[in-house]
Amino acid sequence: MDYYSKQISELIGELSKLPGVGSKSAQRLAFYLINRPVEEVQRLSDTMIQARQNVRYCSQCGTLTDQELCPICANPKRDQSMIMVVEDTRDLAAYEKTGKYEGVYHVLHGAISPMLGIGPGDIKLKELMVRLQGEVKEVIIATNSSLEGETTAMYISKLIKPTGIRVSRIASGVPVGGDLEYIDEVTLLRALEGRVEL
Amino acid sequence: MDYYSKQISELIGELSKLPGVGSKSAQRLAFYLINRPVEEVQRLSDTMIQARQNVRYCSQCGTLTDQELCPICANPKRDQSMIMVVEDTRDLAAYEKTGKYEGVYHVLHGAISPMLGIGPGDIKLKELMVRLQGEVKEVIIATNSSLEGETTAMYISKLIKPTGIRVSRIASGVPVGGDLEYIDEVTLLRALEGRVEL
Over residues B149-172, the mean pLDDT reads: 89
Q: Give the orientation angle of helix A38-54 with respect to helix B6-15, to 10 degrees.
A: 140
Kindly indicate the confidence band of residue A100, based on its pLDDT and cuts at 50, 70 and 90: confident
Kindly indicate the confidence band of residue A174, based on its pLDDT and cuts at 50, 70 and 90: low
Helix, strand, or coil (residue A81): strand
Phi, psi (rounded to 5 degrees) for A18: -65, 150
CB contact under 8 A, A55 and B7: yes
Under 8 Å between Cβ of A181 and A94: yes
Residue among B21, B55, B87 with most chain A CBs within 10 A, to mutate: B55
Cα separation of A123 and A37, whole Å? 43
Here the ipTM equals: 0.71
Kindly indicate the confidence band of residue B150, based on its pLDDT and cuts at 50, 70 and 90: confident
Single-letter amino acid code for the residue at A82: M
The alpha helices in chain A, defined as continuous H runs, are 6-15, 23-34, 38-54, 89-98, 125-131, 147-160, 185-193
Cβ-based contacts of B53 with chain A (< 8 Å) = 38
Cα separation of A120 and B3, whole Å? 27
HSE at residue A89, side-chain half, CA atoms within 13 A, is: 25
More reliable by pLDDT, A180 or B109: B109
CB contact under 8 A, A33 and B51: yes
Please determine, for residue B184, whether its predicted confidence score (pLDDT) is greater than 70: yes
Cβ-based contacts of B6 with chain A (< 8 Å) = 66
Over residues A159-179, the mean pLDDT reads: 79
At B26-51, the pLDDT tens digits run 999 999 999 899 999 999 999 999 99
Over residues A100-115, the mean pLDDT reads: 92
Cβ-based contacts of B16 with chain A (< 8 Å) = none
